[in-house]
Amino acid sequence: MNTFKTTQLLCLSIIFILFTNCDSSTTQPVFQNVEAGNDAGGPACKAMVSGSMMPEIRADLENFRRDSESHMHELNDLFPDFGGVFLDEDGRYNVLLTNMTDKERLKASISLSDKAKMRPEGTNREVIVRQAEYRFRELALWRELATAFLLSGNQFHYVLSTHVHEAENRVAIGIDANYWSEQNLKDVAGFMTATLEIPQKAIIFEKEYMEAEEEDDMFIALNGDTFERQRPILGGLRIRYASSNCSMGFLGVFDGEEVFVTNGHCTKNAHGRSSTMYYQGERDEPNDVVGMEIADGPQSLDMCVTPNSDCWPCRWSDSAIVAIREDVEHARGYIAKTDRKSDEWMVEGSRQIDEKHPVFTIVDLQDDILTGMTLHKVGGNSGWTSGDVIRTCVDSRRTRHEIILQCQYRARYASSGGGTSGSPVFKRAVGEYEGIDNPVTLVGIHWASSNRDRANGYTVFSPVDGILNDFEGLEGLAIEISTND
- How far apart are alpha carbons 262 and 282 in whole angstroms? 18
pTM of the model as a whole: 0.86
Q: Which pLDDT does position 210 carry in this prediction?
A: 80
Listing DSSP states for 377-429 in one string gives: E--GGG-SEEEEEEEEEEEEEETTTTEEEEEEEEE-----STT-TT-EEEEE-
Q: Which pLDDT does position 42 carry in this prediction?
A: 54
Residue in 387, 393, 303 with CA at minimum distance from that of residue 348:
387
DSSP state for residue 319 in the 8-state scheme: -
Residue 104, number of CB atoms within 10 A of its CB: 10
| Phi-psi region at 167: left, alpha or beta (left = phi > 0; alpha = psi -120 to 50) | alpha
Question: Which ranges of the chain have pLDDT less than 70?
Answer: 1-44, 46-52, 107-125, 215-224, 284, 417, 482-485
CATH number of 233-475: 2.40.10.10
| Segment 232-268, tens digit of pLDDT | 999 999 999 988 999 999 999 999 999 999 999 999 9
Q: Which pLDDT does position 155 carry in this prediction?
A: 85
Q: Which pLDDT does position 50 carry in this prediction?
A: 64
Write out the residue limits of the CATH 2.40.10.10 domain(s) in the chain.
Answer: 233-475
**The Cα angle at residue 432 between residues 429 and 437, in degrees rounded to 5:** 65
Residue 78 sits at φ, ψ, to 5 deg, of -75, -40
Q: Which amino acid is at 237?
A: L
Q: Which pLDDT does position 49 carry in this prediction?
A: 61
Element (H, E) at 73: helix 70-78
| Segment 257-304, tens digit of pLDDT | 999 999 999 999 888 878 899 999 877 677 799 999 999 977 888 888
Q: Which pLDDT does position 349 carry in this prediction?
A: 94
| Segment 408-428, tens digit of pLDDT | 999 999 987 678 999 999 999
Q: Is 18 exposed, middle or buried (0-12, 13-18, 19+ CB in 10 A)?
A: exposed
State how far the alpha carbon of 261 is from the alpha carbons of 163, 243, 331, in Å: 26, 19, 13
Separation of first and last alpha carbons in the chain: 14
Q: Name every residue whose Cβ is closer than 8 Å to that of residue 361 and which is 6 or more positions away in sequence.
A: 333, 334, 433, 436, 437, 438, 439, 440, 479
Residue in 365, 337, 364, 342 with CA at minimum distance from that of residue 352:
337
Q: Which pLDDT does position 15 carry in this prediction?
A: 34
Q: Which pLDDT does position 416 carry in this prediction?
A: 75
